[in-house]
Chains A and B, each alone.
Chain A
Amino acid sequence: MTRISLTVDGQQVVDDVEPRMLLVQYLREKLGKTGTVVGCDTSNCGACTVHLDGRSVKSCNVLAVQADGAAVTTIEGLAGDDGTLHPVQEAFRECHGLQCGFCTPGMIMQTVDLLAENPSPSEEAIRLGLEGNLCRCTGYHNIVRAVQHAAGVSAGSTSSAGEGATA
């Protein structure tokens, strides 16, 4: 066992973990933060995306011991204390950027990272920025719209012709 001490969604935690424990396992099984999900076995899908010291990572591809001393933010730490949704969460709801919702925690965490680095991304930059996040339902158009909506750039101008439910 190895002792780790880190901040998760603003709370300090200290635990003894097996070195082989993955960060996603630690979050879900030790801390009960099941908002972060596992969608694959190959680190391809991005469903498990969280922020480690402010940058997006795939938590299925990081050991919990590697996060010792770090600050982790999960999808459960985005909303305000009073339950107010984060603007990116709000945008996904507004633009119907999900169907089954399984990819959504990862999509939202990656979008927050993307917009922190590039507050007004082009459609291409959005698609490239979300390259590591797979969605089996939406065909991505409404996800791209949601990101544009959150960025406050002309939502509804993606290359698909369909009318979005955007404001």
Chain B
Amino acid sequence: MIPAAFEYVAPASVEEALAALAEHGDDAKIIAGGQSLLPVLRMRLNAPEWVIDLGRIASLRGIRDGGDHLAIGAMTTHHDVGQDPLVHEHALLVSKAITHLADAQVRHRGTFGGALAHADPAGDLGAPALALGSTFVVQGPGGTREVPAEEFFVDLFETAISEDEILTEVRVPKHDGWGAAYEKFVRIAHQWPIVAVAATVRMDGDAIAEARVGLTNMGSTPVRARATEAALSGVPATEEGVAAAAALAAEGTNPPSDLNGDADYRRHLATVLTRRAVLTAAGRG
């Protein structure tokens, strides 16, 4: 219930936070919204000596129009991202996924960057961020670097952010006019999905011109359903056309088996949810 004792610092700038990280290294843990970290500390699955709070760094909050992309500050809460008209207009898939993420109280605290840095394979933001081809801006002692989504997710709870770095911003390329849907399959309310599918499509008349499909909890990281994406291009947005492409959704995935379902069950779920998500994104749901 109560975390082990730790020292606490709440720096006012990214530079100060990086200095604290450099000083305490291995013994330190960053806290953003705390919605994943605090449960871990309370169960004593982790006991850092220092907790560095990013909550006082104003520059990490907010959403900026970057021209061809939206720049989402790492500390912007799920609630604020979900309500943002710019996100709705330019990256509808993100808005759709956030509607299904956790519950209202958790969305008021949990942050966009925190959820992505946490890299839970069942987390709801990885698949949309990957499907939209996002870039992750990471700052460290040596300056800032940009990591493409394909390289950001490394493994279960592991990202390309190294121990002396902080995720500052996520750049999501604009997908104006693309339809979007997030189909999440859960056993109980306000929880992580057994499998979820993030789909966004650009229509050309009655046909799908281009599609991006990201899968949640179908492996140790979010993955793109590449075979489905390729099969969807130029296909009429009909039940049959989409179902044939969706049948390929689990190709190349390596889903886990657990109490909620074994790997084969998840592969099946992925094809069903992909069909639904793509049809909905295409306005045929």
Listed in ascending order, the chain A residues whose CB lies under 8 Å from chain B are 2, 18-22, 25, 38, 41-44, 46, 49, 52, 55-58, 61-63, 65-66, 68, 110, 113-114, 129, 131-133
A65 touches B8 (CB 8 A): yes
Q: How far is the CB of A6 from chain B (nearest CB, A)?
A: 14
Q: Which residue of A lies closest to B39 (CB)?
A: A43
Contact of B1 among A41, A56, A113 (CB under 8 A): A41
Of the 9-residue stretches B68-76, B104-112, B144-152, which lies at the interface with chain A?
B104-112
Roughly how many angstroms separate A52 CA and B189 CA in the complex, as a whole number?
Answer: 24
Q: 1/0 per residue B18-46: CB within 8 Å of A?
A: 00000000000001001100110111000
User: How many pairs of residues, A versus B, come closer than 8 Å at their CB atoms?
Assistant: 80
Contact at A57–B109, with CB atoms within 8 Å?
Answer: yes
- Sample of 13 further A-B pairs with CB below 8 A, known A55-B79, A63-B34: A19-B5, A19-B7, A20-B2, A20-B3, A20-B4, A22-B2, A41-B1, A41-B43, A43-B106, A62-B38, A62-B109, A63-B31, A132-B105
B6 A43 Cβ-Cβ under 8 A: no
Interface size on B, residues (CB 8 A): 30
Q: Which of B5, B7, B8 has the most CB of A within 10 A?
A: B8
What CA separation (Å) do A25 and B34 show in the bound complex? Answer: 16
| CB pair A25 B2 closer than 8 Å | yes
Smallest beta-carbon distance A43→chain B, Å: 6
A2–B6 alpha-carbon span in the complex (Å): 11
In whole Å, how far is B48's beta carbon from the nearest beta carbon of chain A? 11
**A164 CB to nearest chain B CB (Å):** 23
Q: Are B105 and A58 in contact (CB under 8 A)?
A: yes
Assess the A20–B190 pair: CB atoms within 8 A: no
A120 to chain B, nearest CB (A): 17
